[in-house]
Structures are given as structure tokens and as C-alpha cells.
């Protein structure tokens, strides 16, 4: 069952219990405690969902920072490799070792 379907079900049950409270009392069921309990559970679920959304957004931001930082480091290493290749020549053993790093 989808998360949204579960959330809707909880909300609908709260509403049903509130709307039918008098009928349920006539049948011997006092819904007040359950309405309160479900209401508190729903608030906790909503808060947890909000925290999850914030964590997801923070994770996306952290991933972007990590990728951007890696790109900067890779460009610096690549520029250094280009410099050494130009300085030493493409047939130099050091340059040959560097070429293997990218494969």
C-alpha cells in the first residue's frame, strides 16, 4: 500500500469516527479515546514526513556539494597531468603511468 493511501486512510478514519461518534455510542463504542490517539499518531506521522523531506533536501544539497568539490579536485589533477605531459613529453614514463590512471 502506498504511503499516501495509508495517510489518507488514517485521516478518513478520524473523520469517520468524529462524524459517527453518536451512532457508535449507541452501539456501545466510545470513539473519543481512539480519535485522540489517531489524531496524535497522524500529527507524529506528519512531523516525521516533514523531517524526512528536509533530510532528503539536505542529502541532495550535500550530494551537489560533494560532486562540485570532486569536479574542482579532478580539474586540478587533470590540469597537473596536462602540465606534466607538456613538460616531460608524451613518451616519458611518468606520463605513460598517468595515462593508465584514467582507464
Is residue 31 packed enough to be buried (19+ CB in 10 Å), middle (13-18) or exposed (0-12)? buried
Print the domain residue range for 8: 3-101
Distance, in Å, from the CA atom of 61 to the CA atom of 47, rounded to the nearest integer, reads: 21
45-66 pLDDT, tens digit each: 999 999 999 999 999 999 999 9
Find the mean pLDDT for residues 68-84.
97
Give the number of other Cβ atoms within 10 Å of residue 39's Cβ. 15
Give the number of other Cβ atoms within 10 Å of residue 81's Cβ. 16
What residue has cell string 478520524?
A: 14
- Count how many domains the chain has: 1
pTM for the structure as a whole: 0.65
Amino acid at each position: 500500500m502506498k504511503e499516501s493511501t495509508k495517510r489518507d486512510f488514517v485521516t478518513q478514519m478520524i473523520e469517520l469516527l468524529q462524524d459517527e461518534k453518536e451512532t457508535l455510542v449507541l452501539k456501545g463504542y466510545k470513539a473519543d479515546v481512539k480519535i485522540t490517539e489517531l489524531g496524535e499518531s497522524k500529527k507524529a506521522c506528519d512531523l516525521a514526513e516533514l523531517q524526512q523531506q528536509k533530510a532528503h533536501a539536505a542529502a541532495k544539497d550535500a550530494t551537489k556539494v560533494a560532486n562540485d568539490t570532486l569536479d574542482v579536485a579532478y580539474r586540478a589533477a587533470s590540469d597537473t597531468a596536462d602540465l606534466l605531459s607538456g613538460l616531460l613529453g608524451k613518451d616519458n614514463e611518468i606520463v605513460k603511468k598517468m595515462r593508465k590512471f584514467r582507464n
